[in-house]
Amino acid sequence: MTIDIARFASPLGTIITAVHDGRVCALEFEARWPRRRRALERRFGPLALRTSADPAGAVSALREYFAGRLDALEGIAVDPGGTPFQRRVWDALRGIAPGATVSYADLARRIGAPAAVRAVGAANGANPVCLAIPCHRVIGADGSLTGYAAGVQRKRWLLAHERAGRRAA
For the annotated catalytic residues, the residue numbers are 135
Reduce the DSSP state of residue 156 to 3 states and report it: helix
Residue 45: other Cβ atoms inside 10 A:
8
DSSP line for 92-130: HHTTSPTT--EEHHHHHHHTT-TT-HHHHHHHHHT-SBT
Closest CA to 49 of 61, 60, 37, 66: 37
Helix, strand or coil, per DSSP, at residue 53: coil
